[in-house]
Every structure is written in C-alpha cells, then in structure tokens.
C-alpha cells in the first residue's frame, strides 16, 4: 500500500499511487498550456528586449550563442582616467573626504 490513494492517470488511465494526477513525467508533459498568439508575441517582445541588454549579451558571449551579436564597444562605458586625487574629486561630489570626518 502506498502513501497516496490510488487514482487513474489523467491521460493513459494507468492506476498509480503517486503524488500528482499523472503516472509519469511523459503524461505530465502532455498537459502543458498552449499560449494564445497575443501572449506569445508579448513574451517574444520581452525576451527580445532583454537580449539587447549588456547582461544578456555578456551571458550569450560566455555561452557562444548566435544571439551574441553586439560588440563590447556598443555597450561598454568609458572608465575615467584618474591620475591624481584632484582628478578624482570631480567624481565625488556630495561625499566628504576622510579628513573631514
């Protein structure tokens, strides 16, 4: 006797004592939701917008996928040249130096 009550699989009518309504993963996969055309278009749009972000492009380049079409120069930001503390002070507006604490 199993932990769960005996029931019939939703698709193949096999008797089983498993947790869900399906006897196996194969039957569970048959019950997937089909999306409407509008939902599919909306999901595709969101995915395409994400694929244009630097994070997605970096991950695609790591995986060598065909979606990695943007070059590093197209989304990279310039790193400021800071040769002295005076140059650095231009980037710290609103912050106090440690000497003023």
- DSSP character string of 65-98: -TT--S-HHHH--PPPP--SHHHHHTT-TT---G
Task: Kindly calculate the radius of gyration of the chain based on its CA atoms and give it in whole angstroms.
Answer: 28
Q: In the structure encoding, which two tokens stand for residue 24, read together?
A: 């196996």
In tens, the pLDDT along 23-48 reads 999 898 887 878 888 999 999 999 98
- Give the lowest-confidence range in 17-21, 27-31, 56-60, 76-80: 76-80
Structure confidence at residue 55 as a pLDDT band (50, 70, 90): confident
Q: Categorize the per-residue pLDDT at 59 as very low, low, confident or very high, splitting at 50, 70 and 90.
A: confident
């Amino acid at each position: 006797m199993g932990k769960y009550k005996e029931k019939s699989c939703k698709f193949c009518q096999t008797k089983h004592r498993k947790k869900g309504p399906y006897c196996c993963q194969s039957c569970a996969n048959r019950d997937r939701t089909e999306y409407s055309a509008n939902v599919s278009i909306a999901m595709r749009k969101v995915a395409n917008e994400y694929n244009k972000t630097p994070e997605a492009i970096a991950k695609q380049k790591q995986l060598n996928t065909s979606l990695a079409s943007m070059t590093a120069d197209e989304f990279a930001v310039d790193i400021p040249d800071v040769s002295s503390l005076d140059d650095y002070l231009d980037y710290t507006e609103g912050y106090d130096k440690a000497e003023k604490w």
